[in-house]
């Protein structure tokens, strides 16, 4: 397992400017060279400045949260469930975990409120849905899926999205549901400093036994963002994209840059039209279009190959597949 | 002038499946073959089912509205103003015109309210801004520009966007400002029918004397849309995109399809990465990715070449440039 993890994450090493071999998982005899796994899953819990002195206990708690989500998604896929179900269940698990900036534990905006964004996309049909700037929905990823499946729209925002979710049977929660002491301190400390980055966005990309790809992303956005701000997470082509036969992408970072450069769609374009591997495409976009520190992406190809690429000091992440792979990473 | 208009709009003819030569303006000795114009401008007032029996008086009023906007933008560019200023002023003019589905004259949503979307992008810097689902802003395109120029964000929605606009000095208007009898009838008639398309989105693309491209789009969205629905118009890469040296794009149609396929950015990829002409790129996306009746785009290249491509019966549109071109079109 150790060798595998080393190979899987050297892409990130190289991206970070650290010394290390330029090989990537696909180039070193991973699934591309052999039989593709029957299913595959990759997840993230945000990219950002993750202190090296985080402490063993906090590292363990983050790893535990990522492992739980990875197990939930792996079980769905192992049992023959759909990639959409796996993505939704992984993200619900991370939304419910107060350590990540999505659902419970979301950051505060400038007004001291929580406003959440999420989207999901079905690579088989290109069906997609999202919600933006919602404050009463416990699991925005499920609301995003309901937008996809039960409306003619792909994005609902604000109180309209909240009402829709309630009409669809999602029980509303109060703003206090999202409260965590840690995020409140960041809010108060950041008010004088003109705003800080959030970090901790969550996302998942999955390939199921039918060969269908799906992607999803959910976030509380940037700490002390302006009320009503919409980031890249709910926007198809910016923070989320999936297309069968090409790739599935979920991003995390400074959402404005992901929207400006259409990060998720650009990666899919480089793979689908340009013939790049998922690693090459992810690197070209994260290294070539995004500025240092702007974030990272997880990308899953139809062959089960996974790229984790980020230009921040760390990205909470994990990968699993039918071959028995089950890995968690935080730094390079 | 007649010959020019004929040549300029044959792309649309061919797209509509009508018989006609496959030549386009660029292929037939337009600006590409000669000296590029010092400035160029193209505008639209929406694509859709525009009845052939619209009546001479209504046709004249639409033409008058388009001509006024085209004159406003042409004057900005002729005087050495920026493409951004031209785009904003054109769109403000169309927002103030009750004939188009943007600003005054916007359609009603399912609740009988008006919620407006707009975005603008600077091709020189890739700076961009948008507002979504706003109900108190008379000129959403100006609010979008303020988001671009005065925040670290690229998209604000709902009441947060409305408050921001007011803080920036835009005087709020009541919902009754947007009322028109015609849109109200469509709302009431459509409620039983499960919703209808809006049509009448407005947009502009401009090239200024400095060689800078800009694009913008503004809309009231779809008639009887769900409250909070966000379409493609405020989303960079979906309804709006501009990049110097590549092209500027504004779209109009079924916004969900424009988001799903990333229409504006896809056209820019095909031009910038694929080497397609603006006409070829627009046709490949509108004919190849969008379904029949989904809408159209205006695309302006850095050489002043313009493509109008739509797969609906008509698109309100116009083009002008420093060579004296000044043309309005509705059907092919």
Predicted confidence (pLDDT) per residue in A176-200, tens digit: 999 999 999 999 988 765 444 556 8
Residue pair A309/A286 in contact (Cβ under 8 Å)? The answer is yes
B chain contacts of residue A163, beta-carbon cutoff 8 Å = 227-228
Query: Which range among A13-27, A56-70, B41-55, B210-224 shows the weakest confidence by mean pLDDT?
Result: A13-27
| Selected residue with higher pLDDT from B114 and B32 | B114
Q: Could you tell me the end-to-end alpha-carbon distance of chain B, in angstroms, rounded to an integer?
A: 16
Checking if the pLDDT of B278 tops 90, the result is yes
Residue B91: name the closest of B80, B78, B104, B81 by CA. B104
**Which of B115, B152, B261 shows the shortest C-beta gap to A256?**
B152
Backbone phi, then psi, for A190, in 5-degree steps? -80, -20
Residue A148: name the closest of A173, A132, A131 by CA. A131
Local confidence band at B305 (pLDDT 50, 70, 90 cut-offs)? very high
Predicted confidence (pLDDT) per residue in A231-282, tens digit: 999 999 999 999 999 999 999 999 999 999 999 999 999 999 999 999 999 9
CA distances from B32 to B13, B22, B25, B65, B306 (A): 21, 17, 9, 29, 10
Checking if the pLDDT of A29 tops 80, the result is no
A196 touches chain B (CB under 8 A): no
Predicted confidence (pLDDT) per residue in B39-97, tens digit: 999 999 999 888 888 889 989 999 999 999 999 999 999 999 999 999 999 999 999 99
| DSSP codes of every residue in A159-204 | HHHHHHHHHTTPPP--GGGG--HHHHHHHHHHHHHT-------EEE
Contacts of B22 (CB under 8 A, 6+ apart): B10, B14
Report CB contact under 8 Å: B153, A256.
yes
pLDDT of residue A13: 32
Chain A interface mutation, best of B112, B114, B121, B133, highest count of A Cβ atoms under 10 Å = B133
Helices (H), chain B: 2-8, 10-15, 56-78, 83-95, 140-150, 158-167, 181-193, 255-261, 263-272, 278-288
pLDDT of residue A17: 31
Spatial distance between the Cα atoms of A222 and A230, rounded to a whole number of angstroms: 10
From the CA atom positions of chain B, what is the Rg in Å? Answer: 18
Predicted confidence (pLDDT) per residue in B177-192, tens digit: 999 999 999 999 887 6
Checking if the pLDDT of A20 tops 70, the result is no
User: Looking up tokens 């992810």, which residue turns up?
Assistant: A282
Checking if the pLDDT of B32 tops 90, the result is no
pTM assigned to the model: 0.91
| Segment 44-63 of chain B within 8 Å of chain A by CB | none
B272 touches chain A (CB under 8 A): no
Local confidence band at B198 (pLDDT 50, 70, 90 cut-offs)? low
**Which of B163, B229, B262 shows the shortest C-beta gap to A156?**
B229
Chain B interface mutation, best of A118, A153, A221, A264, highest count of B Cβ atoms under 10 Å = A153
B236 touches chain A (CB under 8 A): yes
Spatial distance between the Cα atoms of B245 and B251, rounded to a whole number of angstroms: 19
B182 touches chain A (CB under 8 A): no
For A265, the closest chain B residue by CA position comes to: B262
Mean pLDDT computed over every residue of chain B: 89
Burial of B159 (0-12, 13-18, 19+ CB in 10 A): middle
Residue A255: name the closest of A306, A199, A216 by CA. A199
Local confidence band at B33 (pLDDT 50, 70, 90 cut-offs)? low
Measure B24 CA to nearest chain A CA, in Å.
26
What mean pLDDT do residues B255-283 have? Answer: 97
A225 touches chain B (CB under 8 A): yes
For B263, the closest chain A residue by CA position comes to: A237
A150 touches chain B (CB under 8 A): no
pLDDT of residue B1: 30
**Which of B237, B273, B274 shows the shortest C-beta gap to A237?**
B237
pLDDT of residue A33: 53
Local confidence band at B193 (pLDDT 50, 70, 90 cut-offs)? low
Checking if the pLDDT of A50 tops 90, the result is no
What mean pLDDT do residues B2-16 have? Answer: 33
């Amino acid at each position: 397992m150790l060798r595998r993890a080393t190979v899987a994450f050297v892409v990130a090493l190289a991206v970070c400017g650290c010394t290390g071999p330029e090989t990537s998982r696909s180039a070193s005899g991973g699934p591309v060279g052999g039989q593709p796994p029957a299913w595959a899953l990759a997840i993230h819990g945000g990219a950002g400045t993750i202190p090296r002195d985080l402490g063993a206990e906090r590292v363990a708690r983050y790893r535990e949260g990522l492992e739980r989500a990875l197990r939930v998604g792996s079980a769905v896929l192992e049992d023959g469930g759909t990639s959409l179900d796996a993505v939704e269940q992984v993200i619900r698990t991370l939304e419910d975990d107060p350590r990540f900036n999505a659902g419970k534990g979301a950051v505060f905006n400038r007004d001291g409120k929580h406003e959440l964004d999420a989207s999901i996309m079905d690579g088989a049909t290109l069906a997609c849905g999202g919600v933006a700037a919602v404050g009463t929905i416990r699991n925005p990823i499920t609301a995003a899926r309901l937008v996809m499946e039960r409306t003619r729209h792909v994005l609902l925002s604000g109180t309209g999205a909240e009402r829709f979710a309630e009409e669809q049977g999602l029980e509303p929660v109060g703003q206090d549901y999202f409260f965590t002491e840690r995020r409140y301190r960041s809010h108060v400390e950041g008010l004088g400093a003109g705003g800080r980055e959030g970090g901790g966005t969550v996302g998942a990309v999955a390939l199921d036994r039918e060969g269908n790809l799906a992607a999803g992303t959910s976030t509380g956005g940037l700490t002390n963002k302006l009320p009503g701000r919409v980031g890249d997470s709910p926007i198809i082509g910016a923070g989320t994209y999936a297309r069968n036969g090409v790739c599935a992408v979920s991003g995390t970072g400074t959402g404005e840059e992901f929207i400006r450069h259409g990060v998720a769609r650009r990666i899919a374009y480089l793979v689908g039209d340009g013939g790049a591997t998922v690693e090459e495409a992810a690197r070209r976009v994260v290294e070539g279009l995004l500025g240092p520190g702007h974030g990272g992406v997880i990308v899953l190809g139809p062959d089960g190959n996974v790229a984790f690429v980020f230009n921040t000091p760390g990205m909470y992440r994990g990968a699993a597949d039918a071959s028995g792979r089950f890995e968690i990473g935080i730094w390079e």
